[in-house]
Structure 1
Amino acid sequence: MKANILNMKISCLNFPQSHYKQMHKFWSFSPFMSHKVVNVANISPNTTTYYDGWFDRIAINHLSHNLQAVAGVKIEKEGYDGLLKTCKVVSLKFNTVQQCQLCIQALERSIPAQFFLLLKTLVPQSKFTREFLALFTGLFFAWLVGPSQLKESEFNGRQEKNVVHIQKCRFLESSNCVGMCTNLCKFPTQKFIKNYLGMPVTMVPNFEDMSCDMVFGVEPPPPDEDPATLQPCFKLCKNGKRHSLRKCS
């Protein structure tokens, strides 16, 4: 990955999270404020427990059902556990290219295409668009990836709030699988946003602390050159295999 991506000068724009700092709990950056997260220190310093509200549950089940439909599988379990089980079945049943394609198809079914076409037509690429998409992502996708913050990065010599910093990705923590992160989230999301909005976005997962940066406006490297594809899976991964992606198309 280019050095200017890895070495971005990023300054953080924090949303109010005083409860998290003092009590190890906070409300996620969600428009309905329904998604409370608690770090349970007496169980494990790395354990995060999520309490999904009504909006979260609707969104989670909607995506899960659409992924099941395009993959031709049926999972009885609902909620985030059901979504996670669906993703695990897909990751074991299909190769890496198929996983990416199925995820894109599920996103196409889940999000009205008219919304993206309208946004792409009315709002061309600009500082406003990049910052709007970063804000929109933080607001409406906390149910999938967990709490996030907006950060600034240097873009064409100017500072923009075009980075969504996911503090500890819920999907990566719950799946504990690098392959599911890259093949069912990172690569299909990058391609989906580029295809429907014409907006490049680079997702940079950190497999040490399970955080992730979504950098809007920056072209991602080719999959075979992306550091994420060279990452072996975690020792505790239940799938127990190395993951890579040849091409997502």
Structure 2
Amino acid sequence: MDANNLLAQSRSPLSTLAHRRRYPCKPVRSPVLAVLTRPSEIVTKEARKTNFYNDNWFDQIAINHLSQSVQAATGLRNNKSGYESLVEAARVASQNFNPIQQREVVIYALERAFPRAILSLIKTLLPQSKLAREYFAAFTTVFFAWLVGQCEVRESELNGRRERNVVHIKKCRFLEETNCVGMCINLCKLPSQAFIKDSLGMPVNMVPNFDDMSCEMIFGQDSPASTDDPALKQPCYKQCSNSKPLHLELNA
């Protein structure tokens, strides 16, 4: 599997978030216009699974809630538990839906997981500002480590001044568990960027490093166009755990 041309997709009724469906998707087999086949020849030692997690009660509740939301969005249930259940729900989505639908499934699941009233309130109280960007970075490190793994706030330069608006994820738990570039991009990076910007009014650019599985979330920075985003040109790992090839559609 290769993540090359990942956003090169055909226009369809599902291709824009503005017109996304408000009900769970049904698995479909879309026409295959391109198939990612070139594997990455190098899987570094750092990219192998090394972390082990001891989820506390809050982590377990959050993981289960998001897993159930993803399963409800796809209509495809599993009987696993804990983080394994969330990974299985994501893997099933990647194998039964085309890339556009995968992203919409995740956005639909996030909308189920987070009350719209709370998101609207946050968007109103925290418009784009240095305070808002730093708040989102700090909040992410405190409340979402169960999803992405150990992370910390770092500085970057934005509009000519230094801000603590970056979340550095030392080794992404989701990427480590799935070991799949396509799932990282279609089921995490792209839908998360769209959801955070649309629901909270905060642009964010997620920059995964597929060599060591780290990632940076840069709040206040727009994500690059698909043709300029290095993440979308990344081949998948040679030992990708997703057993089915990722089918892509080319943009009109």
Answer yes or no: same fold by TM over 0.5.
Answer: yes
In structure 1, the partner of 2:127 is 124
Give the one of 63, 68, 72 matched to 1:69. Answer: 72
Q: Cα deviation per residue 1:25-60 (whole Å; 9 max; x = unaligned)?
A: xxxxxxxxxxxxxxxxxxx98511111111111000
The equivalent position to 1:193 in structure 2, one of 168, 174, 196, is 196
* 1:246–1:200 distance in 2 versus 1, CA, 3 Å: farther
Aligned: 1:59 with 2:62: yes
RMSD: 1.8
Structure 2: gaps spanning 5 or more residues:
1-46
Decide whether the 8 Å contact of 1:182 with 1:229 is kept in 2. yes
Q: Within the alignment, does 1:150 sit opposite 2:141 as a pair?
A: no
TM-aligned CA distance change 1:246 to 1:205, over 3 Å: farther
Q: Which aligned runs of 4 or more in structure 1 are off by greater than 3 angstroms?
A: 240-247
In the alignment, what sits opposite 1:231?
234
- Which amino acid in 1 is paired with 2:164? K
- Any stretches of 5+ residues in structure 1 without a counterpart? 1-43
The answer to whether the 8 A contact 1:145-1:170 is kept is yes
Q: Distance in 2 between matches of 1:125 and 1:85?
A: 36
Q: TM-score of the superposition, structure 1-length normalised?
A: 0.78
Q: Residue 81 of structure 1 is aligned with which of 68, 79, 84? A: 84
Determine which of 58, 79, 102 is the counterpart of 2:105. Answer: 102
Deviations, residues 79-135 of structure 1 (Å, cap 9, x unaligned): 000111111100000000000000000000001111221111122110000000001
Q: 1:150 is matched by which residue type in structure 2? A: V
What letter is aligned with 1:156? N
CA change 1:245–1:82 in 2 (3 A) is farther
- CA shift for structure 1 position 207: 0.2
CA contact (8 A) 2:98 2:247 kept: no
Q: Structure 1's 114 and 122: CA in aligned 2 closer, same or farther, altered over 3 A?
A: same
Bigger RCO of structures 1 and 2 (CA < 8 A, at least 6 apart)? 2
SS at match of 1:97: helix
Shift of 1:136: 0.6
Q: Secondary structure at 1:83's aligned position in 2?
A: helix
**Equivalent position amino acid for 2:52 in 1:** T
Matched, 1:167 2:170: yes
Q: Matched residues in 1 for 2:250 and 2:136: separation?
A: 28
Equivalent pair of 1:229/1:245 in contact (CA under 8 Å): no
Identity of aligned residues (%): 55
SS of 2:52's partner is strand
The answer to which structure has the higher strand fraction is 1
Tell whether the 8 Å contact from 2:49 to 2:177 is kept in structure 1 after alignment.
no
SS at match of 1:50: coil
Which secondary structure does the structure 2 equivalent of 1:213 belong to? Answer: strand
- Which residue identity lines up with residue 138 of structure 2 in the other structure? L
| Paired position in structure 2 for 1:141 | 144
Letter of the structure 1 residue corresponding to residue 158 of structure 2: F
Answer yes or no: is the 8 Å Cα contact 2:70–2:89 preserved in 1.
Answer: yes
Which range moved further: 226-235 or 153-162?
Answer: 226-235
Q: Which residue does 1:177 correspond to in 2?
A: 180
Q: Is the 8 A contact 1:201 1:214 kept in 2?
A: yes
Say whether 1:206 aligns with 2:187: no
